[in-house]
DNA sequence: CTCCATTGATTAGCTATGCAACTATATGCG
DNA sequence: CGCATATAGTTGCATAGCTAATCAATGGAG
């Protein structure tokens, strides 16, 4: 009924992908959101909350809660910055560093599998299109 | 950092589109989810919850809650079926029927605008790709 | 130097979604 | 018939996301 609707089909696909990546990160007992938050911070230790929000394209409030959760799990910690008392750096703990490679590998493995299932070109084109469309929206 | 990730870019786009459609349905004081639920039922009055869930590609539990909300708003009502005491038909109220065309028009207007902004071919191709990928996922 | 606007982060309150467990009704087998 | 299994829908619990409002620190204008 909504076969030609961009909103409908994109959100439906997003929900489906959520399932696939949930499965991929299950061995770590991390949700996709948690895993991507962790991967972002592991890639750039010491990033601020605002940078995290920009990187993940989520609202700052959501970034706060994501960090809360991973800090409670002992995977991230906040450190005050010297230059500005409002800012907090986000650092991975040793426990997080220990799983960094496995985490990236797990995500890479899903990507590789999907590229095979869908065709490498289709996959890449679709992702580029998605990025392009996102960039053109208000 | 996640420039080539299907999951990341699709979910980010979905969130962005959520904003666009939220704006489009604001005049009706309906969220996109509510509006699409209503449009589905208006298109096929008397559909069952399981049909609604299939149509919207959501879990049955989510369909239950969507109908709850719109019934509370006086836009939908449930009616028991004769043939099976477990089933409930979902019917639009006169208030829902009254806004049917305006609702479809509002969605059509956003689509039209986006097709102009993005290019008609790009838009259509992307939607088809999204549907195709959804179909190939587990 | 003081006050006000700005800015980084957090909190409050809400929506949509899912899975798993439950209720109630059907249905089919012995 | 009567019980066991299957099915439609609901409920409980949890996650992630958003906006708006708030808190606290900065920094500039006068």
3-class DSSP assignment, residue B85? coil
pLDDT, averaged per 10 consecutive residues of chain B (138 residues), comes to 97 98 97 98 98 98 98 97 96 98 96 93 96 93
Residue in A1, A10, A24, A110 to test binding to B, most B beta-carbons within 10 Å: A10
Distance from CA of B46 to the nearest CA of A (A): 16
The gap between A50 CA and D21 C1' (Å) is: 19
Runs of H (alpha helix) within chain B? 6-25, 32-43, 49-56, 60-72, 94-118, 120-136
Below-70 pLDDT ranges, chain A = none
The gap between A125 CA and C5 C1' (Å) is: 45
- With a 7 Å cutoff on the CB, does A40 touch strand D? no
Q: So what's the pLDDT on residue B117? A: 93
Distance from CA of B63 to the nearest CA of A (A): 14
3-class DSSP assignment, residue B108? helix
- With a 7 Å cutoff on the CB, does A44 touch strand C? no
Nucleotides of D under 7 A from a protein CB: 7-12, 15-21, 24-27
The gap between B61 CA and D10 C1' (Å) is: 7
The helix or strand, by DSSP H or E, that contains position A47, with its residue range, turns out to be strand A47-48
Q: So what's the pLDDT on residue A116? A: 94
Task: Report CB contact under 8 Å: A130, B9.
Answer: yes
Q: Cα(A99)–Cα(A70) distance, rounded to whole angstroms?
A: 14
Q: Which two tokens stand for residue A65?
A: 């809660």
Contact A127/B6 with Cβ under 8 angstroms?
A: yes
Which protein residue lies nearest to nucleotide C7, measured between its Cα and the C1' atom? A86
Q: So what's the pLDDT on residue B8? A: 98
Residue ranges of domains in chain B, CATH in brackets: 6-136 (1.10.10.10)
- With a 7 Å cutoff on the CB, does B19 touch strand D? yes
In 10 A of CB B114, how many CB atoms? 20
Q: So what's the pLDDT on residue B55? A: 98
Q: So what's the pLDDT on residue B120? A: 86
Q: So what's the pLDDT on residue A120? A: 86
- Sort residue A52 into left (φ over 0), alpha (ψ -120 to 50) or beta: alpha
Q: Which residue of B has its CA nearest to A123?
A: B6
How big is the A-B interface in CB pairs under 8 Å? 135
């Amino acid at each position: 009924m909504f076969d030609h609707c961009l909103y409908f089909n994109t959100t439906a696909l997003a929900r489906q992908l959520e399932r696939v990546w949930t499965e991929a990160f299950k061995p770590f007992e991390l949700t996709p959101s948690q895993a991507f938050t962790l991967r972002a911070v592991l890639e750039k230790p010491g990033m601020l909350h605002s940078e995290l929000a920009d990187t993940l394209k989520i609202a700052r409030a959501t970034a706060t809660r994501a960090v809360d959760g991973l800090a409670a799990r002992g995977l991230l910690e906040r450190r005050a910055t010297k230059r500005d008392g409002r800012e907090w750096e986000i650092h991975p703990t040793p426990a997080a560093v220990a799983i960094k490679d496995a985490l990236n590998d797990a995500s890479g493995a899903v990507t590789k599998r999907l590229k095979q299932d869908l065709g490498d070109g289709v996959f890449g084109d679709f992702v580029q299109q998605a990025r392009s469309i996102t960039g053109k929206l208000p």
